[in-house]
């Protein structure tokens, strides 16, 4: 259930809402940030999500003993929110903040942070080459391109 909650509700709030308005729209499509929408999402939509997680996540360790898909699913949405300059209030949601820190500190995620930093400062058209130059394990070929294209989903 926690993985599904992350995939559905957290995705709606943090990716299709916050990240879309704060990062994707201006960086990919050249449209201005909707600051009112960002403020509304942070004030109205984020708190109930974090309140729920605060009631469900363990104070120590991971959701089901060992690190698993539920833990990773939750943490990566909050990592993505950080790219949109959202910082969780660790005094309001201390269990969730510590949980996310624990998950993101795991080697399987921590070793990606240098690539994340590189992508954040590299234009889309140059990202594949920059990742390869940094030693990222990129595929020999891609079906993607250097120019973003709109997908089938309609986003705000």
For helices 94-104 and 46-56, give the axis angle rounded to 10 degrees: 80
- Our CA dihedral for 143, 18, 66, 61, rounded to 10 degrees, sits at 160
pLDDT digits (tens, 9 = 90+) for 82-112: 999 999 999 999 999 999 999 999 999 999 9
Q: Per the structure block, which two tokens stand in for 151?
A: 């997908």
Alpha helices in the chain (DSSP H): 2-5, 35-40, 46-56, 69-83, 94-104, 107-110, 113-120, 127-133
Q: With a cut of 80, say whether residue 145 has pLDDT above it.
A: no
Identify the sign of the CA torsion 131, 133, 137, 139: positive
Residue 136 burial (C-beta neighbours within 10 Å; 0-12, 13-18, 19+): middle
pLDDT at position 147: 75
What is the Cα–Cα distance from 77 to 13, expressed in whole angstroms? 9
Residue 156: its pLDDT value, please?
57
- Rounded CA separation 155/7 (Å): 16
Q: Provide the pLDDT for residue 143.
A: 78
The predicted-structure confidence for 10-68, as pLDDT tens digits, reads as follows: 999 999 999 999 998 888 888 999 999 999 999 999 999 999 999 999 999 999 999 99
Closest to 54 (Cα-Cα) out of 12, 4, 88, 14: 88
- Joined together, the tokens standing for residue 46 give 């984020």
Q: Degrees (nearest 5) of the Cα angle 95, 102, 65?
A: 85
What pTM, to 2 d.p., does this model score? 0.87
């Amino acid at each position: 259930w926690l993985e599904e909650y992350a995939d559905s509700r957290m995705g709606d709030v943090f990716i299709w809402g916050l990240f879309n308005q704060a990062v994707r729209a201006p960086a990919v499509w050249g449209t201005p940030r909707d600051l009112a929408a960002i403020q509304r999402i942070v004030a109205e939509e984020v708190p109930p999500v974090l309140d729920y997680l605060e009631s469900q996540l363990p104070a120590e360790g991971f959701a089901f003993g060992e690190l698993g898909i539920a833990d990773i699913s939750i943490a990566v949405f909050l990592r993505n929110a950080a790219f949109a300059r959202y910082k969780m209030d660790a005094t309001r949601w201390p269990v969730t903040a510590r949980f996310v820190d624990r998950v993101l500190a795991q080697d399987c995620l921590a070793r990606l942070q240098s690539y994340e930093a590189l992508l954040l400062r590299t234009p889309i058209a140059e990202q594949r080459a920059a990742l390869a130059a940094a030693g990222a394990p990129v595929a020999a070929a891609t079906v993607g391109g250097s120019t973003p294209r709109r997908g089938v989903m309609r986003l705000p």
